[in-house]
Amino acid sequence: MGFLFEIISEVNNNENLKKYNTELPKTLNKIKQALYNGREKFNTHMPLVSQGVARWLKEVNEKHQSVITPLEHLLRLVNNHMSIDMSAIIVTEQLHNWQGFSSLYVEKIIEAEKALHNVDENLEIKLAPKLDLIKQVAQNFWSSVIDRSVTNSVETLYNKLTSIPQTLTKRISAKTQTVQSTLNVKFDKIAANIENFKKIKNSQIQSINSAVSAANQHIVELIGDSQNGFDTNYKNQISKRFTALRNEIERFVKKDSGNTTELLKQFEMVTNGIRELQVNVQGDLQKLKNDITALADTVYSDDRNPLVNDALTQLKNDMETLRNTTAAITAKSDSLQRQYTESCKETIDIFANQYGKLRESIYGPGSKSVTDIKKGSIAHLVTELIDAIGAVDVGILDSAVTKFHGDVTQRIKDAADKAVEKAADQFKMKGDGEAQIDVTSIMVLFDGAKTALDQAASSVNVQLEALKEVPGVVEESRQGADTLMDKLKGELDVLQYQIKAIEEPVNAANAVLDAAISQLPTSLQDAQSTANVTMSLLRSDLQATTNKAFNDLEEHVQKMFAEQKKAELRAVYT
pLDDT for residue 184: 87
Residues 18 and 138 in one domain: yes
Half-sphere exposure of 195 (CA within 13 A, CB side): 5
d(CA 27, CA 51): 8
In a domain, 183, yes or no: no
What pLDDT, on a 0 to 100 scale, did the predictor assign at position 551?
83
Q: Is residue 353 part of a domain?
A: yes
Find the radius of gyration of the CA atoms of the chain. Answer: 73
Does residue 186 sit within a domain? no
- The domain boundary, picked from 146, 169, 187, lies at 146
Owning domain of residue 328: 238-490
The answer to the question of residue 565 being in a domain is no
| pLDDT tens series, the chain, 574 aa | 454 555 555 555 555 556 655 666 666 666 666 555 555 555 555 665 566 566 666 776 777 787 788 888 888 888 888 888 888 888 888 889 888 888 898 888 888 888 887 776 777 788 888 888 888 888 888 888 888 888 888 888 888 888 888 888 888 888 888 888 888 888 888 888 888 888 888 888 888 788 778 777 777 766 666 556 666 666 676 677 667 666 766 665 555 545 555 555 655 665 666 566 556 655 655 555 555 444 444 444 555 455 556 655 655 665 565 555 555 555 555 554 555 455 455 555 554 554 454 455 556 677 766 577 776 555 555 565 455 444 334 444 445 445 544 554 554 455 445 544 554 455 444 455 544 555 555 455 455 545 655 665 566 566 556 656 666 666 776 676 677 677 767 776 777 777 777 778 888 888 888 888 888 888 888 888 888 888 888 888 888 888 888 888 888 888 888 888 788 777 776 6
Same domain? 127 vs 267? no
Contact 105, 138 (CB under 8 A): yes
Question: Does residue 496 sit within a domain?
Answer: no
Do 249 and 105 fall within a single domain?
no
Polymer length in residues for the chain:
574
Distances (CA, A) of 35 to 3, 5, 132: 11, 9, 47
- From CA 562, how far away is CA 555, in angstroms rounded? 11
* CA–CA dist 570, 574 (Å, integer): 6
Give a yes or no: residue 279 inside a domain: yes
Neighbours of 505 (CB within 10 A): 9
- pLDDT, tens digit (0-9, with 9 covering 90-100), for 353-394: 544 544 555 566 777 665 777 765 555 555 654 554 443 344
Q: What angle in degrees, to the nearest 10, is found between the helix axes of 148-223 and 470-573?
A: 160
* Residues 205-209: contacts with CB under 8 Å, at least 24 apart: 205/506, 205/509, 205/510, 205/513, 208/502, 208/506, 209/503, 209/506
Is 48 inside any structural domain? Answer: yes
Q: Are 463 and 193 in contact (CB under 8 A)?
A: no
Task: Render pLDDT for 511-526 as a digit per residue (tens, 0 to 9).
Answer: 888 888 888 888 888 8
Of 490, 506, 525, which marks where a domain is finished? 490
Answer with the one of 109, 126, 146 that is the final residue of a domain: 146
Check residue 434 and give left, alpha or beta (phi > 0: left; psi -120 to 50: alpha): beta
Q: What span, in angstroms and rounded, lies between the C-alpha atoms of 514 and 198?
A: 8
* 243 lies in the same domain as 122: no
Q: Would 294 be classed as within a structural domain?
A: yes
Q: Could you tell me which of 200, 177, 230, 171 has the C-alpha nearest to residue 543?
A: 171
Nearest to 312 by CA among 323, 302, 322: 302
- Exposed e or buried b per residue across 392-404, where buried means at least 16 C-beta atoms within 10 angstroms of its C-beta: eeeebbbebbeeb
CA 354, distance to chain mean position in Å, is 37
pLDDT (0 to 100) of residue 383: 62
563 Cβ contact partners less than 8 Å away, ≥ 6 residues apart: 87
pLDDT value for 161: 84
How many structural domains comprise the chain?
2
Q: What is the pLDDT of residue 63?
A: 77
Amino acid present at 182 = T
Question: Measured in whole angstroms, how far is the alpha carbon of residue 403 from the centre of its chain?
Answer: 66
User: Nearest to residue 274, comparing CAs of 460, 462, 451, 459?
Assistant: 451
Q: What pLDDT shows up at residue 569?
A: 79
